[in-house]
């Protein structure tokens, strides 16, 4: 299946979930397919999508968090699977679009092009619901199950190599941070983040 | 000399006063008592990570989700986190407070720890504001003003706690 088509399937299923992406292809494609104020595009730092997703899921236990990771990105931060398994947040779904390559620099193979099996690593890390899907139908079926369940899921979606011909993203990473925060404030999920120095004993009378 | 229980207590209460409610940690030797206190504190979420860089991600996600995070680690972890701090926290303006035991200084017998030779130049090079704390009496003010700066300026701030803070006679 193509990652772009899987994202279209995903976008039909999204309601109020927070979505965190990894770097590069998945980010640009998701932006084109469905940009929304609950998306956080991870173009800042390869490898941290799973960890940012965990932090969000733990901070907002009443909200579903979906991470759209890549194989190269997750391989950079395999330890995060152990941490995620131990924290076991029921509201986190880690989806890995595994195209078995480092796409942006020229489709060079990653470890998953060889014997490395990310779902097996996830199971070994302790994530009970770790599985691999290879078709759009299976992707849809598994994601439906995960969205209906109250359990941690790792879904490794094997996808074809290649970036869909999408236009460049028109959101800045800094803008994205504050758009997400503002969206969460507006939904009453987090407090307004601006704060005054509340230390009256230091002589600040205006707090 | 022994690890200072008073320092652990002072850091813990300063973190609470600063509103910290989400701790991300990779355990280090000099902050054993602090870690114990933070783990037992029911008002604080506590996540142990496998690498400090991973901790930067978790703490940043927690901030986005409305929590007030602190990343507790040894100063060597700042090297492990350098790119994440400069690309995620500094560029995307995600504030987190970092509490680091400052290893490798005069009086630290860990010969492999080059901490003090590289930590401050590294933090300066990547643009992370930082404060060296040398006296236990400075803890409360250091924590409160660092958290305030992080929140107001939208930057990560690293507090480097010297042996003179974390150890006592």
Residue B112 has pLDDT above 90, yes or no: no
Q: Give the residue-averaged pLDDT of A156-168.
A: 95
Given a cut of 70, whether residue A132 has pLDDT beyond it is: yes
Q: Is B64 on the interface with A (CB under 8 A)?
A: yes
- Is the pLDDT at B111 greater than 90? The verdict is no
The residues that bridge with B159 in the sheet, in sequence order, are: B99, B131
Task: Output the pLDDT for position B97.
Answer: 98
- Check CB contact under 8 Å for B92 and A176: yes
User: In whole angstroms, what is the distance from residue A137 CA to residue A197 CA?
Assistant: 53
Average pLDDT over chain B, rounded to an integer: 94
Q: Which chain B residue is nearest to residue A60, measuring alpha carbons?
A: B65
Provide the number of CB pairs (under 8 Å) joining chain A to chain B: 128
Q: Is the pLDDT reported for residue B122 higher than 80?
A: yes
The pLDDT value given to residue B9: 98
Does A207 have pLDDT greater than 50? no
Dihedral class, residue A79 (left if φ above 0, else alpha if ψ from -120 to 50, else beta): alpha
Q: In chain B, which residue's Cα lies nearest the Cα of A56?
A: B61
Distance CA A97, CA A69 (A): 6
**DSSP H stretches of helix in chain A:** 3-13, 25-34, 49-59, 71-75, 79-87, 118-125, 136-148, 173-186
Is A43's pLDDT higher than 90?
no
Least confident of A41-50, A135-144, B5-14: A41-50
C-alpha span between B104 and B128 (Å, rounded): 20
Contact state of A59 with B148 under an 8 Å Cβ cutoff: no
With a cut of 80, say whether residue A201 has pLDDT above it: no
Residue of A nearest to B93 (CA): A174
Do the chains contact at A58 and B65, CB–CB below 8 Å? yes
Give helix A118-125 / helix A79-87 axis angle, nearest 10°: 50
pLDDT tens per residue, range B23-52 = 999 999 999 999 999 999 999 999 999 999
What secondary structure does DSSP assign to chain B, as a single string? -EE-HHHHHHHHHHHHHTT--EEEE---GGGHHHHHHHHH-TTSEEEE-SSHHHHHHHHHHHHHTT--EEEEEETHHHHHTHHHIIIIIITTT---EEEEE--SSTT---TT--HHHHHHHHHHHHT--EEEE-SGGGHHHHHHHHHHHHHHHT--EEEEE-HHHHEE-
Question: pLDDT per residue over B77-99, tens digit each?
Answer: 999 999 999 999 999 999 999 99
Are B65 and A174 within 8 A, CB to CB?
no
**What ipTM is given for this predicted complex?**
0.96
Looking at residue A194, its pLDDT comes to: 66
- Does the pLDDT at position B53 exceed 50? yes
Cβ-defined contact of B144 to A178 (cutoff 8 Å)? no
Is residue A197 over pLDDT 60? no
Contacts of B87 in chain A (CB under 8 A): 44-45
Query: What pLDDT, on the 0 to 100 scale, is given for residue B5?
Result: 97
pTM exceeds 0.90 for this model: yes
Q: Mutate one of A19, A40, A44 to test the B interface: name it (highest B CB count within 10 A).
A: A44
B23, B25, B57, best to mutate vs chain A, most A CBs in 10 Å: B57
Of B168 and B115, the one with more pLDDT: B168
What is the model's pLDDT at position A116? Answer: 97
pLDDT bin (cut points 50, 70, 90) of residue A195 is low
CA B29 to chain A, closest CA, distance in angstroms equals 21
Compare all CA atoms of chain A with the CA of B94 and give the residue at the minimum distance. Answer: A177
Please determine, for residue A198, whether its predicted confidence score (pLDDT) is greater than 70.
no
| pLDDT exceeds cutoff 90 at B149 | yes
CB-based contact, B39 to chain A, within 8 Å: no
**Chain A positions in Cβ-Cβ contact with residue B66 (cut-off 8 Å):** 59-60, 184, 189-191, 193
């Amino acid at each position: 299946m193509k990652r772009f088509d899987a994202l279209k399937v995903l976008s039909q299923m999204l309601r109020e979930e927070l979505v965190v992406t990894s770097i590069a292809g998945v980010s640009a494609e998701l932006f084109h397919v469905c940009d929304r104020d609950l998306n956080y595009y991870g173009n800042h730092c390869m490898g941290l999508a799973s960890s940012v997703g965990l932090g969000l899921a733990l901070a907002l236990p009443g909200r579903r968090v979906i991470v759209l990771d890549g194989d190269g990105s997750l391989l950079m931060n395999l330890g995060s699977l152990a941490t995620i398994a131990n924290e076991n947040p029921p509201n986190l779904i880690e989806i890995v679009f595994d195209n078995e390559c480092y796409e942006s620099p020229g489709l060079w193979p990653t470890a998953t092009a060889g014997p490395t099996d990310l779902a097996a690593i996830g199971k070994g890390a302790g994530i009970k619901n770790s599985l691999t899907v290879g078709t759009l139908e299976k992707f849809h079926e598994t994601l439906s199950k995960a969205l209906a369940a109250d359990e941690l899921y790792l879904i490794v979606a094997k996808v074809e190599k290649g970036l869909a011909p999408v236009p460049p993203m028109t959101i800045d990473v800094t803008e994205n941070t504050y758009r997400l925060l503002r969206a969460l404030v507006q939904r009453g999920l987090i407090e307004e983040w601006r704060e005054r120095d509340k230390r009256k004993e230091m002589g600040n009378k205006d707090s | 000399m022994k690890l200072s229980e008073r320092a652990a207590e002072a850091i813990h209460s300063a973190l609470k006063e600063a509103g910290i409610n989400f701790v991300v940690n990779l355990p280090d030797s000099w902050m054993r008592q602090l870690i114990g206190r933070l783990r037992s504190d029911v008002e604080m979420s506590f996540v142990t990570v496998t690498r400090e860089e991973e901790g930067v991600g978790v703490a940043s996600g927690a901030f986005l989700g409305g929590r007030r995070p602190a990343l507790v680690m040894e100063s060597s972890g700042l090297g492990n986190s350098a790119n994440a701090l400069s690309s995620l926290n500094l560029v995307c303006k995600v504030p987190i407070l970092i509490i680091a035991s400052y290893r490798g200084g005069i009086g630290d017998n860990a010969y492999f720890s080059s901490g003090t030779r590289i930590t401050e130049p590294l933090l300066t090079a990547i643009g992370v504001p930082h404060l060296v704390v040398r006296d236990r009496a400075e803890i409360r003010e250091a924590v409160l003003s660092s958290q305030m700066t992080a929140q107001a300026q939208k930057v990560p701030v690293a507090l480097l706690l010297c042996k003179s803070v974390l150890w006592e006679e």
